[in-house]
Chain A
Amino acid sequence: MTNDNWTKLFLDLLPGLGVSLQLTAGLLAIGLPLGLLLAVGISSKDKIVRYPAVAVVEVGRGVPALVLLYLVYFGLPQTGITLDAMPAAMIGLGVSFAAYTSEVFRAGIQSVPQGQTEAGKALGMSGGVIFGKVVMPQALKIVVPPLLGWAVIYFQATSLAFALAVPELLSRAYVLATTNFQYLNMLSLAAMLYAGVAIPLTVLAEHSSRRDAKSRTA
């Protein structure tokens, strides 16, 4: 196959990559706040808050993401909530992302010494101000590298949206392959695009978490 041909196949796949990135943005917009909320819920002393949060985390981690997508897309309509494939995929993946990252957020919040909260109280700060201005900025530094790692994993997981017929990267490669019969070329090219986004970001996340660990022990 000629170089021109590869370039053309590559350009044909780009709109699919765009949809995959959109899915990633959407699932992060849902999953990041929800993950933080779940972390606060799990750490709560109030059982009415803690138990539901623990249940969401256990279900979100114990059930395959694909089953969550099907549940949102094919199950929710029975409760009167009918969603298009794209938002359904974002919600299913977002909940799964939140379940996994709640543990990251919880560890980040706990890493800030209790004395900081007490010092805030002694200065007459409100609980909200202490959380927002004292605990969160310090916790964020710790949670960013692992969150980046999870975001990369969920960028890859957007390929599951193929099953809901979302025209993301894998679907695009597959649909084009059914017309030009270059299955191996199209699918390998899609695989390279996934890897091309995922591998550099994974290396970056691992590198920054190592650097972080060093700066903390110093």
Chain B
Amino acid sequence: MNLPGAFSSIAAGIGTTATLTISSFVFGAIIAIPVALARVSRLPLLRLIGGTYIQITRGVPPIVWLFVIYFGLSQFKIHFSSVNASIVGLSVISAGYIAEIYRAGLNSVPSGQQEAAQALSLSRISSFTNVTAPQALVAVIPLAIAYFIGLLKDSAVASVIGAQDITAMALAASKRSMDGLLIFILAGAVYLIISVPVAAFGRWAGAKIAARWAVRA
């Protein structure tokens, strides 16, 4: 198989990989908010629930999550397409990881900031949105971008339940052409190349936000 031919067959999967990664990241980032708030709550029961969610999502391999959702739930007549099952599974998992990232961000804000906000008699909501959250964002952005790149690679497991992503396209092309070496090197290169601008954007956004919000000692 020639190089342009191999590339065009793999490139057909880029859209699905992007859909899987971006949707799972966005849904995960939203679900992670209540999980992280439960995890840092003053109520022990909520802390336990948040902590358990995080442990379970991270303790079971992504591919097993996808199998449970795609094949397991069909026992209850709940049928997802392979792309939707993958988005549900990867969102559930990424929520666990992103919740920990939020928590790290919140922990990075010195407690004196909170106390100062109280001394200025800001309301709890105002002290969170105007004082704590913007500073937490400085720590969150680089971690979140690194996790996004990790999720991009994790999304490859969706190919095992039939999503037509980069990896699935490469597998199909390698079976057609018997040129697995070139095709999988190329597929690996495509993942690497996608992650380069994402990482660059992360560095740029991180620096931008740090310049705006970081606490200078």
Which residue of chain B has the shortest Cβ distance to A79 in the bound complex? B181
Query: Are the CB atoms of A182 and B75 closer together than 8 Å?
Result: yes
Provide the residues of chain A in CB contact with B185, threshold 8 Å.
Answer: 71, 75
**B56 CB, nearest partner CB in chain A, Å:** 6
Q: Give, as a whole number of angstroms, the nearest-CB distance from B123 to chain A.
A: 35
Identify 14 residue pairs between A and B in the complex whose beta-carbon atoms are under 8 Å apart, listed by A's number.
A64-B154, A64-B167, A65-B153, A68-B188, A74-B174, A75-B183, A75-B184, A162-B63, A174-B67, A187-B71, A194-B59, A198-B60, A199-B56, A202-B55
A58, B195: Cα distance in complex, Å: 11
Say whether B112 faces chain A, with CB atoms less than 8 Å apart. no
Q: How far is the CA of A162 from the CA of B185 in the complex (A)?
A: 21
B157 at the interface (CB under 8 A from A): yes
* B130: min CB distance to chain A, Å: 33
Q: Which residue of A70, A74, A157, A181 is within 8 Å of B61 (Cβ)? A: A157
Instruction: Give residues of chain A (169-198) contacting chain B, Cβ–Cβ below 8 Å.
Output: 170, 173-174, 177, 181-185, 187-188, 190-191, 194-195, 198
Q: Is A102 an interface residue (CB 8 A)?
A: no
| A21 sits at the interface (CB 8 A) | no
Chain B residues with Cβ below 8 Å from A198 are 58-60
Minimum CB–CB distance from A67 to chain B (whole Å) comes to: 5
Cβ contact within 8 Å between A63 and B64: no
In the complex, A195 Cα to B93 Cα: how many Å? 13
Residue A78 interfacial (CB < 8 Å): yes
Q: How far is the CA of A41 from the CA of B186 in the complex (A)?
A: 26
Contacts of A65 in B (CB 8 A): 153, 156
Q: Which residue of A156, A157, A184 is within 8 Å of B72 (Cβ)? A: A184
The B152-177 residues at the A interface (CB cut-off 8 A) are 153-157, 159-160, 167, 170-171, 174
A159 at the A/B interface (Cβ < 8 Å)? yes
